[in-house]
Amino acid sequence: MAEVIRMPKMSDTMEEGVIAEWHKQVGDVIKSGEIIAEVETDKATMDLESYYDGTLLYIGVKKGDAVPIDGIMAIVGEKGEDYKSLLEEGGGNGKAEAKEEAKAAPVETPAPAAEKPAAAPAKSTEKINAAVVRMPKMSDTMEEGTLVSWQKKVGDKVKSGDILAEVETDKATMELEAYEDGTLLYVGIKEGEAVPVDGIIAVIGEEGSNVEALLARENGEAEPEAAPAAREAATEVVAEKPNSVADAGDRIKASPLARRLADEKGININQVAGSGDNGRIVKRDVDEFKPAAKTEAAPAAKAAEAAPAKPEAQAAAAPANGDFVDTPVSQMRKTIARRLSDSLFTAPHFYVTMEIVMDKAMALRPQLNEVSPAKISFNDFVIKACAIALKQHPAVNSAWLGDKIRKYNYVNIGVAVAVDEGLLVPVIRDADKKNLSTISAEVKDFAGKAKDKKLQPKDWEGNTFSISNLGMFGVDEFTAIINPPDSCILAIGGIKKVAAFKEDGTVYPTNIMKVTLSADHRVVDGALAAQFLNTVKKLLEEPMSMLV
């Protein structure tokens, strides 16, 4: 009997796994205990063993694809066995989406009996030897990618592993590999355009394949069985009159999926140009719709344009005066805006500030740098102090998960690094177990990679606490926004020489550094935040205690 192989939960924080490599292919005979694939989790790349004997009948995901926990990866059974019922029972995406689409589709007002609509054309059963290339999810926070440059053009021969394009994500610019052999038949986006995760960007296959029919299938649309000449004629009609999508009864011709997507995106379906049969609006039209696109104005609107505008209206419509430059928002900046907005307006922040005397740390640092293989900074002192303090106050080393609070038994500290387009937060893993010189070397390595856009997902994922330091810019103190999923972030100001007083009133100079802890009140209370900062203060004021 055939058995389903699902994505196992390989770590406590894992939500999905990426297929790094398949070691078996469909038709291979496998035994229980054999390695069938390598899976990249949020922590490491691990071997996936088969728990069944039999023949590999089905592989549901390609190399490089992400699969959620319990998602179907493969099926093992007897050679020739029918396994399709397992896909349907196990949540085959196609049928589930079709049911969801049917359920979500709005009920249209029936047309008069005289205007009985023609039956929808059935999907083409033509065998198409081609496959679509979709935008992969290249980081845990990625929602869309911007295509920086195409390395191949339509008509080029492509082999699995070839670099198709460079894609800018919210964290770095990464290479997009081809997973199919064939000819690049279609390119769906231009350089500089953004595409949501799973959006179609290209098609690879045999020359002469019916790309149009394949795209229609992938978009959930029916492909009419029409001759190529008829399809070309329909395309010309659409080009000449792009907004002719309503029939005599002013009923918009659009697929249920297109209507639902338009509603979710807040797009007026009347403004979308249809490229389907007889001007019908399909999914790709909604995906490619740009609000700035010109639509055919109503006569009343034209009359309003012809009439002289009021001075106030003219001022509002006129472009801003002066010399300025509009810069498109990068993927990194979009993600920073979204995540930090969600954090600030979702997590109830509160702030605790404390002064730390850095005299002994300033005296110790030159001595350590005489023997350290990497130059140690005061930021490295803070990272080490926070790591030790987090082990003593595990409730701070936690995350809010809605229905539970997760306390981490390891300490991974994210260090904010400024780059041209925003911020990246590479992670120092197990910081409590590392000495100052190791921490210093890792921070410098990550900073260099961040500026060169060479960080990989494993470098910025898995933080349990974060640090942001603006002291080197002359900032005395500031507050930082919590970096999800952490419950706290420490903002570090510069070291400043101030006058202090002894008990007898004598004045003496001392070096003070102000730190401010931003805490999520759902997880951390004020007293706990103060206790944590007091521990950090003691460690930095007696830095030798961190070395023993």
Return the active site residues: 521, 525
How many Å apart are CA 199 and CA 210, to the nearest integer?
A: 19
- Cα–Cα–Cα angle for 499, 502, 506, nearest 5°? 75
How many Å apart are CA 240 and CA 232, to the nearest integer?
A: 12
How many Å apart are CA 197 and CA 76, to the nearest integer?
A: 30
Q: What does DSSP assign to residue 392?
A: H
Cβ count near 364 (within 10 Å) = 18
Q: How far is CA 122 from CA 22, 213, 277, 432, in A?
A: 36, 12, 13, 63
DSSP-assigned letters across all residues of 213-282: HHHHHHTT-------HHHHHHHHHHHHHSTT--B-TT--B-B-HHHHHHHHHHT--GGGSPP-SGGG-B-
How many Å apart are CA 57 and CA 75, to the nearest integer?
A: 6
How many Å separate Cα 163 from the centre of its chain?
21
Give just the sign of the alpha carbon dihedral 71, 74, 76, 80: positive
How many Å apart are CA 228 and CA 446, to the nearest integer?
A: 54
Whether the Cβ atoms of residue 156 and residue 184 lie closer than 8 Å to each other: yes
Integer-rounded Cα radius of gyration of the chain: 30
- Cα–Cα–Cα angle for 221, 227, 229, nearest 5°? 110
Q: How far is CA 83 from CA 29, 80, 87, in A?
A: 16, 9, 7
Closest CA to 463 of 491, 429, 435: 429
How many Å apart are CA 274 and CA 252, to the nearest integer?
A: 10
The count of residues in the chain is 548
How many Å apart are CA 121 and CA 439, to the nearest integer?
A: 64
Whether the Cβ atoms of residue 533 and residue 515 lie closer than 8 Å to each other: yes
- Alpha-helix runs per DSSP H in 347-478: 359-371, 378-392, 436-451, 457-460
Which residue reads 């052999």 in tokens?
181
